[in-house]
Every structure is written in C-alpha cells, then in structure tokens.
Amino acid sequence: MDLHTPISAEAACSYLLRFTSLHDRGRGIAVPCDKVGNVDIDSLTLQLRTAYFGARAMVGQEYSRPTVQQLRAK
C-alpha cells in the first residue's frame, strides 16, 4: 500500500481498510481507502491517523491483516 497516493473523494467513500481485533472480533479500526487499499494519510483526522498507524504497528499482535471492504451504495 502506498501511503501517499492521492485518492479521489468518490473512491475514498466507496472502500474501507479494516483492521479487525484479534481478541474481540466486534472491534477494530476502519479508514477510507481506494479499491486496492491505498490510504490518503493527509485526508485523515489526527485521531484516525493515529489509530491507523497504531493498528498497522500491531498487526499480528492486536489486529488481523487489513482487508479492503467495499461499502454498499445507499
């Protein structure tokens, strides 16, 4: 995943990169991404950016490998 690839607003609203907790399957972190999992770091709030970097650092210990999920159209 390229951390600095610009993502269109439409693409960012269509996909989420999900990190699921290994200890509590109902919990996790999700950030907007494109269809291949690229995250536009600059578009994230400070709180979400911090959570994203924390989840990435804890893959295999606290979180599963991230998956890309397409959001359903409303």
Q: How confident is the model at residue 73 (pLDDT cuts 50, 70, 90)?
A: low
pTM tops 0.85, yes or no: no
Residues in Cβ contact with 6 at an 8 Å cutoff, skipping those fewer than 6 apart: 40
Q: Where are the beta strands (DSSP E) in the chain?
A: 15-20, 28-33, 67-70
Residue 41 is predicted with a pLDDT of 95
Listed by start position, the domains of the chain span 9-70
Q: pLDDT by residue (tens digit) across 16-68?
A: 999 999 999 889 999 999 999 999 999 999 999 999 999 999 999 999 999 99
32, 13 contact by CB (below 8 A) = yes
Instruction: Quote the pLDDT of residue 33.
Output: 94
Give the residue from 30, 56, 58, 31 showing the smallest Cα distance to 43.
31
